[in-house]
Amino acid sequence: MRIGRMAISPRVLKCEYSCETGAVNETRLFVLAALAKRGPMHGHQLRRDARLDRADLWSRVKPGSLYGALHRMQDEGLIRPLRTEQPGSLPARTIYEITEEGRRELRALRDEAFTEVDIRPDPVDLALAVGADLDREVLRGYLQDRIAALRARESAMDHQLERRWPDQTRADDLIVEHARMRLGAEIAWHEKVLGDLDKLDERP
């Protein structure tokens, strides 16, 4: 993947089962890391890199959100426009570069991502906890639909990852493996709930 690696300062790890949704801004981290590693780029290049890296499979980075992120980061002084290019009849494109403030933000975001072990609750757990009055066949249908959706995502991931990207490293392999293992754990848990469907009201 093209975002590269940089040294981080040691920090104490914080591990919690968190209900917070405002964790590390992955889109911001992706953009700042890309500009720091590869130099000035325009939004179209960043979108292309996100697609080539298949960032949506292993992060919450969505290629379509990058332009909005660029404008917000420019307003905050994390990046700045370097020049405008208009090759041929193509639309004009603004080339952005990272600022010193952006580099500090990059280090802070990456440090936060490494040091905060944030395991977010899944709303399906709460739904299951308050679902005692739900018809078991309806619940079975919900679970089967969720398993089908998870398996479809697993299949889509495998299909997209059949080809390696040119500069794929061992670290990239491990990132992909992490995403696959998490998805596999989700499927296994849903299948376990489905298998215990008639025992949900039992007490140990």
How far is 63 from 119, CA to CA, in rounded Å?
Answer: 24
Question: Is the per-residue pLDDT at 16 higher than 70?
Answer: no
Ranges of each domain in the chain: 14-119, 123-199
Residue pair 6/36 in contact by the 8 Å Cβ criterion = yes
Q: What is the pLDDT of residues 30-77, one digit of tens each?
A: 999 999 999 999 999 998 887 777 666 667 788 788 899 999 999 999
Q: What is the CATH number of domain 14-119?
A: 1.10.10.10
Percentage of residues in the chain having pLDDT higher than 90? 50
How far is 37 from 7, CA to CA, in rounded Å?
Answer: 13
Q: What is the pTM of this model?
A: 0.71
Question: Is the per-residue pLDDT at 181 higher than 80?
Answer: yes
Q: What is the DSSP string of 172-200?
A: HHHHHHHHHHHHHHHHHHHHHHHHTGGGT
pLDDT of residue 40: 96
